[in-house]
Amino acid sequence: ADVKKIAVIAGDGIGPEVVGEAIKVMKKTEELFGFQFEFEQGLFGGIAIDEKGTPLPQETLDICKNADAVLLGAVGGPKWDNNPKELRPETGLLGIRKALGLFSNIRPANVFDCLMEASTLKPEVLAGTDLIVVRELTGGIYFGEKFRREGANGQEAVDTCVYNEAEVERIVRQGFEIARTRRKKLASVDKANVLETSRLWREVVNRIAPEYPDVELEHVLVDNCAMQLLRRPASFDVIVTENMFGDIISDEAAMLTGSIGMLSSASLGEGSFGLYEPVHGSAPDIAGQGISNPIATILSVALMYRLTFGYAEAAQCIEDAVKSVLDAGHRTGDIAVDKSKAIGTTEMGDLIIAAM
Amino acid sequence: ADVKKIAVIAGDGIGPEVVGEAIKVMKKTEELFGFQFEFEQGLFGGIAIDEKGTPLPQETLDICKNADAVLLGAVGGPKWDNNPKELRPETGLLGIRKALGLFSNIRPANVFDCLMEASTLKPEVLAGTDLIVVRELTGGIYFGEKFRREGANGQEAVDTCVYNEAEVERIVRQGFEIARTRRKKLASVDKANVLETSRLWREVVNRIAPEYPDVELEHVLVDNCAMQLLRRPASFDVIVTENMFGDIISDEAAMLTGSIGMLSSASLGEGSFGLYEPVHGSAPDIAGQGISNPIATILSVALMYRLTFGYAEAAQCIEDAVKSVLDAGHRTGDIAVDKSKAIGTTEMGDLIIAAM
Ligand SMILES: CC(C)[C@H](C(=O)O)[C@@H](O)C(=O)O
Ligand SMILES: CC(C)[C@H](C(=O)O)[C@@H](O)C(=O)O
C-alpha cells in the first residue's frame, strides 16, 4: 500500500493538544478511505530549545525531509521570549521554512456563516468574505543580511530586503494559478511608490500577467490594502505579496473573519511536499487546560489532503464534518457566545470524528 | 503684531479645494482671535512636475523653510503614476519630509460619534476609540540605500532598513510624551522576533521606559497589532512605531474609525515647526467637482494651532464648530448616508465658519 509519511511537530503551548485531535481525524480517514499514514514526531520550538538546546534540531529537520508532509502545531511562549536569537522558537520557524524550501505560504481567510457574529466587522460587510493570502516565505527582509554597527549616533541596526526576479516570479505565478481555480481575481500588494524591491515585484507581475488573461489583476499599495481589507473584504479573492507585507496583511485578514481559531495554512515549495499548521499561535495562557480549539489544525489536515495528497474527497469529508458540528451549535471557548456551554478540545475532536 | 507665515502647498486633485476651505477658516480666526497670517503658495507634487519638472522645486522648499508652518493638501494621481522615480509626486513627499527634518508623524484616529455608522466595525467595538499613531518619518526602509544588481537569478532589487539609537530615541520619547498628556498608555510596535532594527528599537524603548513610570508600556508585534486594532481598537491610546509599520498601521487605524475624510495629521521636527495635512489622498476621481470633504484639512488647521502656535482656544473653536455642523446633520458625499442630501465642499466650509 501507499504509505504516506507524516512528520508531526507539535511544538509548544496548545500545539500538542490540537495536533492530537488532528491525528485522530487522520486515523479516522485511514478507516474510512483506506489511507495509510506513518507518523513520526519531532521536537521543535521552545520544547526543542529546552531538551536539545536548539529550536530546530537536525534530527527534526531530517524527519521532515524524509516525510511527505509536515503537520505543525504552534511554537513559542513567554518562557523563551527573551532568549538570544539563536535560542528563540521563531528562529526555528524561519529555519524550517528555509531548510525545506517552503517559499509559498497559503492562508485562506474565510468566514464561517455560523461564526459571523464572532467578527468585529459588521455582518453585511463581512458577508461572502473568502480570500486567500499567498505570502512569499523565504525571501525579503526576513532573510536578508542583518547586523549592528557603531555609528555617529550610537549603535546602528541594519536589515536588508532582497528579492530577485526568479523568487518573485515563482510566488506570483502561484498567485495567478490559485486565482485561476477560484474567482479569478488577483490583488498584488506592494509599496512600489517607495521600495525598489516592490518596483521589481510589480515589473515581474506585469510581465507575467499577459499569460493569465483570464485573471483580473489589481495592484494595491500595502497601506491601501490594510484599509481596503476593512472596507471591502469580500471583494478580494487572491492576494499575493512579499514576506513582511504578507505577515501583516494575512493576520489582519484572518482577524477580520472573526474565525482565527478556525483558519489553517499551508507552506509549500516545489512539488507536492508541504507543511501545514493552524494560523493561531501557541496560546500559552490556556495550554494544558484542554479547552483549546482544534478546528484550525483539523482543517489544516484537509488542506494537506487537497494540496499534497490529492485526497479531495476526504478533505471534503473533514470540512463537512466541521461544518455540521458547528451548525449543531457546538463551540469551544474561543468561539462560544455563551462561554458556559463551551466544550473542550477532545470533545470537539470526537464530535468531528463522529460526524465524518 | 506677531505675523505667522504659512506655506500653502495645495498639491493635486482635491488638494486645492480642501486647502481653500481651510484657509477660509484660518482667516475667520484672524477676525475672531486677532491672529495674523501671511500665506505663501508653493507648487508641489504632480502640478510641480508638470510646471517645473520636479515634484519639489527648490523655491517651494524655500517657502516652507521660511514659514512657521506648512499646510499641505494632497499629492498624486494616475497621471504621474508611471513616471520614473524622480518625477513622481511621492518622491516630493519623501523629499520634503527629509529636507524639513520632519521625523515625527502624528496621526490621530478617533471616532466621531455621529459618524459611527460609517465604519465597517461594529459600533460596540468601535465605541470610545481615540488613538494616536506616532510614526517615525525620516528613517527606516523608506530612506535606506536602494539599488538593483544583476544576480544569478535575474535582476535583484535591494532595500535597506537602517535605524540608529538617536533616531529611535527621539521618536520614542515623543510617543511617551504624548501618552503622558492623554490616557498614559503607549504601545510600541515592532517585529523584534525577526528584524535587527526592531530589536534595537525595543532595546531603546526599554531603556527609556523607566523615565516614564506613569506611562503603561506594551510591546506589540506588528502582525499582532494589525489584529488587535480590529479586536480592541478602543484599548489603544498612543502607538509609536517605525516608518513602514507606521504607514500600514496608521492607515488601518484611520479606516477602522470610518472617518477617513475627517482625519488630520501633523509632521513635526525639532522645535515647533510642523507640516499639517489631511490623512486622505488627492482623490483624483472627484477632483474639481466641488464635492470633496474639507473637514480633515480644516481639522489639520486646529492641529497646527495646538502643536505649532499654542492657539488652544482657537483650535477648540474650530473643532467645536465642526462637531456642531456634523451634529446638525450636514454631510459631504463621502460621509453621507443619504447621498442625495450631501452638501458640497464650499457649503461645508461656510457652515463651519458660520458655526465658529
Ligand atoms: C513567528 C514569526 C517569525 C512568524 C512570521 O512573522 O513569519 C509568524 O508571525 C507567522 O506569520 O508565521
Ligand atoms: C505616498 C507615500 C510615499 C506615503 C508614505 O508611505 O509615507 C503615504 O502613504 C503616507 O502615508 O503619507
Alpha helices in chain A (DSSP H): 15-33, 46-52, 58-65, 89-99, 123-126, 165-180, 196-208, 222-231, 243-256, 295-304, 312-327, 345-355
Nearest Cα to Cα of residue B297 among B105, B27, B71: B71
Instruction: Give the closest of B122, B153, B248 to A165, CB-based.
Output: B153
**Domain extents in chain A:** 1-100+273-356, 106-262
For B346, the enclosing helix (H) or strand (E) is: helix B345-355
Q: How far is the CA of B246 from the centre of ligand 2 (A)?
A: 10
Question: Do residues B7 and B67 touch, judged by C-beta distance below 8 A?
Answer: yes
Q: How far is the CA of A21 from the centre of ligand 1 (A)?
A: 23
3-state secondary structure of A352: helix
- The ligand that comes nearest to the alpha carbon of residue B251 is 2
Return the CATH fold of B105-263. Answer: Isopropylmalate Dehydrogenase (3.40.718)
Q: How much is the pLDDT for B55?
A: 97
Mean pLDDT of chain A: 96
Contacts of B226 in chain A (CB under 8 A): 226, 248-249, 251-252, 255
Q: Which three cell numbers stand for residue B77?
A: 494621481
At what angle are helices B312-327 and B295-304 packed, to 10 degrees? 160
Which active-site residues of A does the annotation give?
142, 191, 223, 247, 251
Query: Who's near B60: CB < 8 A, 6+ residues apart?
Result: B7, B9, B42, B43, B44, B48
Nearest Cα to Cα of residue B49 among B74, B16, B19, B75: B75
One-letter amino acid at B338 equals D
User: B158 to chain A: nearest residue by CA?
Assistant: A162
Question: Strand pairing partners for B133?
Answer: B107, B239
Instruction: Give the closest of B153, B161, B223 to A164, CB-based.
Output: B153
Vertex A84 angle, CA A80 and A87, to 5°: 60
DSSP of A12-28, one letter per residue?
A: STTHHHHHHHHHHHHHH
3-state secondary structure of B60: helix
CA A348 – CA B3 distance, rounded (Å): 71
Please provide the CATH number assigned to the domain covering A106-262: 3.40.718.10
Residue B140 scores a pLDDT above 90: yes
User: B280 to chain A: nearest residue by CA?
Assistant: A224
pLDDT digits (tens, 9 = 90+) for A304-327: 999 999 999 999 999 999 999 999
Nearest Cα to Cα of residue A272 among A104, A109, A130: A104
Q: How much is the pLDDT for B116?
A: 87
* Mean pLDDT in residue range A206-229: 98
Contacts of B147 in chain A (CB under 8 A): 196
State the count of interchain CB pairs (< 8 A) between A and B.
Answer: 172
Instruction: Give the closest of A125, A154, A224 to B165, CB-based.
Output: A154
For B29, the enclosing helix (H) or strand (E) is: helix B15-33
Name the residue with the closest Cα to ligand 2, atom 12.
B247
Name the residue with the closest Cα to ligand 2, atom 3.
B90
CB contact under 8 A, A156 and B162: yes
What's the per-residue H, E or C state across A203-256? HHHHHHHHHCCCCEEEEEEHHHHHHHHHHCHHHCCEEEECHHHHHHHHHHHHHH
Residue B1 scores a pLDDT above 70: no
* Mean pLDDT in residue range A330-352: 94
pLDDT digits (tens, 9 = 90+) for A127-150: 999 999 999 999 999 999 999 999
Q: Indicate if ligand 1 lies below 6 Å from the C-beta of A347.
A: no
Q: Which three cell numbers stand for residue B235?
A: 484599548
Contacts of A153 in chain B (CB under 8 A): 164-167
* Mean pLDDT in residue range A67-91: 94
CB contact under 8 A, B165 and A156: yes
CB contact under 8 A, B153 and A167: yes
Residue A15 scores a pLDDT above 90: yes
User: Whole-prediction pTM value?
Assistant: 0.96
Mean pLDDT of chain B: 96
Instruction: Give the closest of A166, A200, A252 to B157, CB-based.
Output: A200
CB contact under 8 A, A162 and B153: no
A1 pLDDT band (50/70/90 cuts)?
low
Contacts of A244 in chain B (CB under 8 A): 191
- The ligand that comes nearest to the alpha carbon of residue A278 is 1
Residue B57 scores a pLDDT above 90: yes
Q: How much is the pLDDT for A105?
A: 98
Return the CATH fold of A1-100+273-356. Answer: Isopropylmalate Dehydrogenase (3.40.718)
CB contact under 8 A, A248 and B248: yes
Q: How far is the CA of A66 from the centre of ligand 2 (A)?
A: 46
> What is the total residue count of chain A?
356
- Residues A222/A227/A232/A237 CA torsion (nearest 10 deg): 20
CB contact under 8 A, A162 and B154: no
pLDDT digits (tens, 9 = 90+) for B246-302: 999 999 999 999 888 899 999 999 999 999 999 999 999 999 999 999 999 999 999
One-letter amino acid at A308 equals T
* Mean pLDDT in residue range B122-129: 95
Question: Do residues A317 and A38 touch, judged by C-beta distance below 8 A?
Answer: no
pLDDT digits (tens, 9 = 90+) for A264-312: 999 999 999 999 999 999 999 999 999 999 999 999 999 999 999 999 9
* Mean pLDDT in residue range B135-160: 96
Which active-site residues of B does the annotation give?
142, 191, 223, 247, 251
Q: Which three cell numbers stand for residue B96?
A: 520634503
CA B11 – CA A58 distance, rounded (Å): 58
Residues contacting ligand 2 via CB (< 6 Å): A 193-194, 223; B 90, 93-94, 247
Most A-contacting residue of B163, B235, B247, B248 (CB-CB within 10 A), to test interface = B248
- Tell me B14's DSSP state: T
Q: How much is the pLDDT for B184?
A: 98
* Mean pLDDT in residue range B189-200: 96
CB contact under 8 A, B90 and A194: yes
pLDDT digits (tens, 9 = 90+) for B305-321: 999 999 999 999 999 99
* Mean pLDDT in residue range A196-200: 97
Residue B101 scores a pLDDT above 90: yes
State what percent of residues in chain A have pLDDT above 90. Answer: 93
State what percent of residues in chain B have pLDDT above 70. Answer: 100
Q: How much is the pLDDT for B260?
A: 86
Q: How much is the pLDDT for B115?
A: 87
